[in-house]
Structure 1
Amino acid sequence: MNYTNSLIEQISFNNQKYFVKRDDLLHKDFSGNKARKFYYFLKNDFPKIKKVISFGSAQSNAMYSLSVLCKIKGWKFDYYVDHIASYLKENPIGNYKFAKEFGMNIIEAEVPKTFKNDELFISEGGAVSAASFGIEILANEIRTWAKENQIKNLKVFLPSGTGTTSLYLQKFLPFEVLTCSCVGDDEYLEKQFLALEKTNFPTILKKEKKYHFGKLYKELYEIHNELLNQTNIEFDLLYDSLGWLCFEKYVENFDKKDEFNFLYIHQGGLLGNISMKERYTYKYNS
């Protein structure tokens, strides 16, 4: 099965050339940045481990990817959440639905403080140093592509939740890595960087206004639809829409854009779009 080496294709969006790393196409069940973060756990043997424990939201991309990982490895999977909306319980959809189908045991409670010897705890969103294993492979794929295509002036962009992927990409790439904060503010993102590394951080692009994670914004829905119309690529509504909003603005205002190439890394997470599209359609199209 192919969990690495996604293709890079060239697109034109609003008359600007971009390259897109299609990590959404890695594997139908294990793709995007979470496949990179969890690749270490997929490729290595953990003979003592029988269960994975993690926590986060009930529609998390990481939750779904971990349920797939556990199914492949034959592990049990306990996932802790603060709250599951009654509507979601009665009408399972998106990551929640499919993670349960892969065998996830979801628990409405605080995550335990201690774990047994046969339990593996993975922080929310995969913010762990082991993520560097898969992200270094991603960086090497980008380096190889750039060398083969004689691309020297390259800027790499991806939006951040915990910032783990962008942080380790900057560690392993000779190019500037750009990102924007999607879950918390920029200060939150910098704290997440510091928890894993002490230096060499990616560049955080400023947002024009404050966005609350998971809240609906018309401009995010519009850029999602515009990208789909112009490029025939579906991007994630939670991370990629805000990412493209920030990245496009940066490129527009970048003085030397004719001298540089711009690579966007697709975040995957398209199962999450099922529930997000329902919400957006209800709000703006009903």
Structure 2
Amino acid sequence: MKLSNTPVTAHTFGDIPFSLKRDDLLHHQFSGNKARKLSAWLELEQPEITTLMSQGGVQSNSLYSMAALAKLKGWQLKFYVERIPTWLKNHPMGNYRGALELGAQIIETNDYDKVLEEHFREPRQTQSHTLVIPEGGHSEEAMSGVRRLAQEIIDWASQNVAQPVAVALPSGTGTTALYLHKFLKPAAIEVLTCPCVGGKQYLIEQFMALRESDFPHILELENKHHFAKLYEEDFRTWQQLCTDTGVEFDLLYDPMMWRCLSLWYPQNTDKHLLYVHQGGLLGNESMLPRYQRKFSSI
């Protein structure tokens, strides 16, 4: 399976013209930045591996992507989470439902910190048949898949754009943004990102953990933005983005990035903006009802 060469389409969001790298179209189960980061493990040739071990949030895009990777490779996924709400166990939805349908074993543990310390602080193969991948693919192994994405962007820009190009994408651990910056900087292509999970300092710490010292341009909102909290402005931004483009975007990460870009663009109208679609649309199955309940008048 080739995870490459997704199309680039032209759109406008409000008064911002931009191109969209459609990485949501990579594969129906394995798409967006997670597919790019995990592609190195998809290509791994180690027939002795039977089990994939990872950890994270019970509704994270990472959970579903890991489950898809394991399914494609014929592995059993063991995914550790801190808690599975009772209502979710009774009514599975979103990434949790999708991962279960792909055969994932989702393990709720009261000793989550102990599990992290034993298995994930320094990811490794704990046994010859078990492969350990950090949360969200936050690993130097992610570099090869992101390098291919960067080359696709360089090739596209050289053939289609005369202006300076700025590439934008939101960040969790920031792995994709960091490695895109590493490979696009020599081509004079700027990378913009925003810290969705923590603040700017948290994101810089994640960058440094991957032993890099040159970082993409980090954009921030004027006020603190809490991960997974529902914001009316995020919902309005998402609605407008979907309406203006005719493309569905992720509700958890993309609205914050576009709010940041709305502040960035007026001083950068000379640049051609390329947005990298992050996939993650299955997560909308659980996020959208939350927004609809809280902001029913919108």
Q: Place the TM-score, normalised by the shorter chain, in its bin.
A: over 0.9
When normalised by structure 1's length, the TM-score is 0.96
Per-residue deviation, 1:146: 0.6
Specify the SS of the correspondent of 2:281. coil
Question: How far apart are the structure 1 equivalents of 2:43 and 2:9?
Answer: 27
Which residue of structure 2 aligns with residue 247 of structure 1? 261
2:84 maps to 1:73: no
Alignment match, 2:10 = 10
Give the corresponding residue for 2:123.
none
After superposition, the C-alpha distances for 1:44-67 in whole angstroms (9 at most, x for unaligned) are 212221111100110010110110
What secondary structure, in the 3-state scheme, does the structure 2 residue paired with 1:38 have? Answer: helix
Indicate yes or no: 2:152 matched with 1:141: yes
**Shift in Å, 1:139:** 0.2
For 2:291 and 2:68, how far apart are their aligned partners in 1? 27
CA deviations on 1:137-159 (whole Å, 9 max, x unpaired) are: 00000000011114350011100
Is 1:221 the counterpart of 2:232? The answer is: no
Taking the aligned partners of 1:150 and 1:84, their CA distance within structure 2 comes to: 47
Q: Who is 2:202 aligned against?
A: 188
Structure 2 residue identity aligned to 1:70: A
- Give 1:15 shift: 2.2
- Residue deviations 1:53-111 (CA, integer Å, cap 9, x gap): 10011001011011011011111110000011111111000100010110100111123
Please state if 1:283 is matched with 2:294. Answer: yes
CA RMSD of aligned residues (A): 1.2
Query: What's 2:64 paired with?
Result: 64
1:163-202 Cα deviation digits (max 9, x unpaired): 0000000011121111000001111100000011332210
1:98 aligns to 2:98 (yes or no): yes
CA drift of 1:4 comes to: 1.4
Tell me which residue corresponds to 2:193.
Answer: 179
Instruction: Tell me the number of residue pairs that the alignment of Structure 1 and Structure 2 aligns.
Output: 283
Farther-moved stretch of structure 1 (145-154 vs 167-176): 145-154
Residues in 1 aligned to 2:198 and 2:160: alpha-carbon distance in whole angstroms = 36
The CA deviation at 1:2 is 4.4
Question: Counterpart of 1:53 in 2: which secondary structure?
Answer: strand
The answer to whether residue 283 in structure 2 is matched with residue 272 in structure 1 is: yes
Residues 231-267 of structure 1: CA distance to partner in whole angstroms, max 9, x if unpaired?
Answer: 1111100001111111121112x1x41x210111111
Superposition TM-score, scaled by structure 2 size: 0.92
Cα distance in 1 between the residues matched to 2:19 and 2:38: 25
Identity of aligned residues (%): 46
> 2:224 matched to which residue of 1?
210
Q: 2: distance between equivalents of 1:213 and 1:187?
A: 15
For 2:47, the equivalent position in structure 1 comes to 47
- How far apart are the structure 2 equivalents of 1:275 and 1:250? 30
User: 2 CA distance for matches of 1:188 and 1:33?
Assistant: 20
One-letter amino acid of the structure 2 residue matched with residue 220 of structure 1: D
**Within 5 Å, which residues of 2 pair with 1:112-191?**
113-114=118-119, 115-173=126-184, 174=187, 175-191=189-205
Offset from partner CA, 1:5-49 (integer Å, 9 cap, x none)? 111111011122111111111111110000000000111212221
Q: Could you list the runs of 4 or more consecutive aligned residues of structure 1 that deviate by over 4 angstroms after TM superposition?
A: none
What is the letter of the counterpart of residue 182 of structure 1?
C
- Tell me which moved more, 45-54 or 87-96: 45-54
CA distance in 2, matches of 1:178, 1:150: 18
Measure, in 2, the Cα distance between the counterparts of 1:13 and 1:2: 30
1:96-132 deviations in Å (ceiling 9; x for gaps) = 0010110100111123614222111111111011100
